[in-house]
Every structure is written in structure tokens, then in C-alpha cells.
Amino acid sequence: MRTSLNNTKLTDDYVNGMLPTGDALLMEARLILNPDLDEEVDLHKRTLNIVRQYGRESLRAQIEDIHQQLFTKPQHRSFKDLVFSFFER
């Protein structure tokens, strides 16, 4: 279990560019010699991209929810008016 955790940390650090130069070069040599490791790194990259995309979509939904609350609920009318006043000429 610990070895797996260490490998995951090493892979994550490599993908995120956080390995020192020597360790990164060693990892690249391992990738050349071990196709399974290369596939694991590729899957890790894809997983990180999916997680980032989910995070962006989740944040976008939260921002939209806040926007709807601030600009549609009567108790926030003064805030809405203040924001709109910035754009009036």
C-alpha cells in the first residue's frame, strides 16, 4: 500500500512539474523503459484534467447561483442598484 502511495505521489509530482531535475530525468527514463508506467502517467494526466474541468464547472455554477441570488432577491435590491449605478452615465 505504501509503495502504491509513493508511486502516486511521484507520478503526481512529475505530471505537475514539481520534481527536481534529476528525479524528473529518472522518471522520464522509467517511462521509456516501462510502457505500463507511461500508460499510468497518461491516465493520471487525464484524471487531473477531468477533476480540473469538474472544479471549473462547479465554481461556474456556484458563481451563477450567487449572481441569481444577488440580482433577483428583493433583500439585495440596494446592492443590485449600486452595481448598476457603476455602469450608468
Query: What number is the average pLDDT over the span 65-81?
Result: 92
Determine the Cα–Cα distance for residues 15 and 43; give it in Å rounded to an integer. 11
Q: Would the pLDDT of 60 be above 90?
A: yes
73 phi, psi to nearest 5 deg: -85, 135
% of the chain beyond a pLDDT of 70: 98
pTM value is 0.70
Confidence band, pLDDT 50/70/90 cuts, at residue 88: confident
What does the pLDDT read at residue 1? 60
What does the pLDDT read at residue 77? 92
Query: What number is the average pLDDT over the span 71-75?
Result: 92
